Structure 1
Amino acid sequence: MIERDGDVTQASIRHAIAALGVDLGPDVLNQCRALFDAEQSALQAQVPASAMDIAYGPHERHRLDLYRPAADGSAPILVFVHGGGFLKGDKGGASDWPNANVGRMAAQAGFLGVVVNYRLAPDNVWPAGAEDVAAVITWLKANGARHGGDPDRIVLMGTSAGAVHVAGYLRLAGAGDVRAAILLSGLYGYTPLDQRDTLYYGDPALYPDRMPLEAVAATSLPLLVACAEFDPPRFQAEFLGLMQDRIARHGAMPRALILSGHNHYTLPMHLGTADRRLSQEIYAFVRETTA
């Protein structure tokens, strides 16, 4: 287990992440969390949620937390959809900082941060995730202003399976109700499904066109796409496939970056910490697309 204390520098964190390689799994996830526990736990007390476990639909997983910025007024809304390989994951909260940190980061930047749960596979299959993102948008259109957000300035953001559900939303609902999308380490359809994916999508022989490739490749919605230096090869291949497809279709890549010194788990986990490279990109992108 890798432990973190107040004297650990960003360089040593990056070294520890590099030593973990590109593997995924509970042990790697726990080691990644340990690297940021001290800093994120301290920040958690500074920016608590302004409202928690609000129901946006009838299912027990249809819950969202809000992180309101300090300034009054109508703020851009940044919606974050967590990862978990379609089968697990949680928005976090007062005693569990992963994923909640993204809502806090949004509030610190002057946005209304919204962190959501959604229905999980295998009990809930395609297109449940995209439908749940659509339900969140519908809720925000009706209620966001009451919580200090501007319902006409919504940016969607997802990581891993959450990025897939954001992309799936673009396929399901189009781009009319949101200003932009941020996709971290997603799977869009450039590589074959694995067994875990089929628990959400079903048999690829029967349903070969359920991945959201076309929606992401073709959309005119502004995109910020990122992957990590130590993402597993499949996620890196997906990132490169999307870049190539966008060039072929649009003559240019979307706004994009490969974040050095991070892996699949730490890409969202580190947001809000002293490593501000990705957060600054997100801040600038949200401000530009919601101006």
Structure 2
Amino acid sequence: MGTTLGLPVLEACRALFDDEQRVLAARVPVLAVDCAYGPHERQRLDLYRTSTETGLPVVLFVHGGGFRVGDKGGAESWQNAAVARTMAEAGFLGAVMNYRLLPDARWPEGGEDVGLAVDWLSAHAADFGGDPARIVVIGTSAGAVHIATALKLCPDLPAAGAVLLSGLYGHTPLDDRDEPYYGPNADYAGRMPREAVAATTIPLFIACAQFDPPRFQAEFLGLMQDRLERHGTMPQATIMPGHNHYSMAMHIGTADRRLTDEIVAFVKSTAT
């Protein structure tokens, strides 16, 4: 499929995993639907759990979509919900959120929504068997941007760890497609979370795909270099062979467990 983005590639990736993801969806029903973490209709999250134990680590997934589209999924759509279902099967309390989108949303509202969702989980996760002191956030593409922005807005974000898949952190120039979110003539460099992600002491797991567009690969390498210079060591990281920008998150929950197993091990190592 190459390194390009677009609806045909997205649909082709979805078709690759549809059969397996439908089985997962039938196996892991939702625990709680449309929990409101804010007043906007998009400020909703769903919860999944299979364990009967309490005090479970909490894993929140933040979907991608170029600041314009995306949904947490559910009974009718497995995409994005599959990550929360997979985390539930791993023995965690899985969560997946919606957030405000263009044309309503502007920077930094995506990051604000991540912060609000984490605050909601801190206050309510125990009601569903989760441990509010052990929250790990996972974001892909725009979702990774919003997590990184949340770290910029709130350096003390109450998260035990963050997984950033194919995000943009400020190592490459502004793309015209992103200008509606950041604003025309905006101080793009000042709004990007590069410094916050480089400086955070929250444990990070960073990934990009072998067939990510070059911009995302450059962002991955830039963040790795920033972390090395700041901390003297690189964060836990991986480059997913054989995957592209869409398939890296979409395949979580299938028989290809390479990334899933690394994320589960990361959650266990940071949320215990």
- TM-score interval for Structure 1 and Structure 2 normalised by the shorter chain: over 0.9
Percent identical = 62
Call closer, same or farther: CA 1:288–1:151 in 2, change over 3 Å. same
State the aligned residue count: 272
Kindly provide the CA deviation profile for residues 24-49 of structure 1, in whole angstroms up to 9, marking residues without a partner as x: 10111000000000010111100011
**Is 1:71–1:110's contact at 8 Å kept on the other side of the alignment?**
no
Match of 1:276 among 254, 257, 261: 257
Kindly provide the CA deviation profile for residues 238-269 of structure 1, in whole angstroms up to 9, marking residues without a partner as x: 00011111111111110000000100000010
Partner of 1:182: 163
**Is 1:193–1:204's contact at 8 Å kept on the other side of the alignment?**
no
Distance 1:181 1:192 in 2: 24
Say yes or no: does 1:95 pair with 2:76: yes
Partner of 2:153: 172
* Structure 1 vs Structure 2 CA RMSD: 1.0
Scaled by the length of structure 1, the TM-score of the pair is: 0.91
Match of 2:235 among 232, 245, 254: 254
SS at match of 1:35: helix
Give the letter for the 1:182 counterpart. Answer: V
Match of 1:46 among 27, 49, 52: 27
Distance 1:34 1:223 in 2: 31
Structure with max Cα Rg: 1
- Give structure 2 stretches of 5+ with no counterpart: none
**Is 2:174–2:188's contact at 8 Å kept on the other side of the alignment?**
no
Deviation at 1:102, TM superposition (A): 0.3
Call closer, same or farther: CA 1:207–1:267 in 2, change over 3 Å. closer
Distance 2:106 2:186 in 1: 16
Call closer, same or farther: CA 1:189–1:207 in 2, change over 3 Å. closer
Distance 1:71 1:279 in 2: 22
SS at match of 2:190: coil
Deviation at 1:122, TM superposition (A): 2.8
Partner of 1:24: 5
Distance 1:181 1:125 in 2: 23
Kindly provide the CA deviation profile for residues 111-163 of structure 1, in whole angstroms up to 9, marking residues without a partner as x: 10010000012321011001101110111111110011100000011000000
Q: Structure 1: which 4+ aligned runs deviate by more than 3 Å? A: 204-208
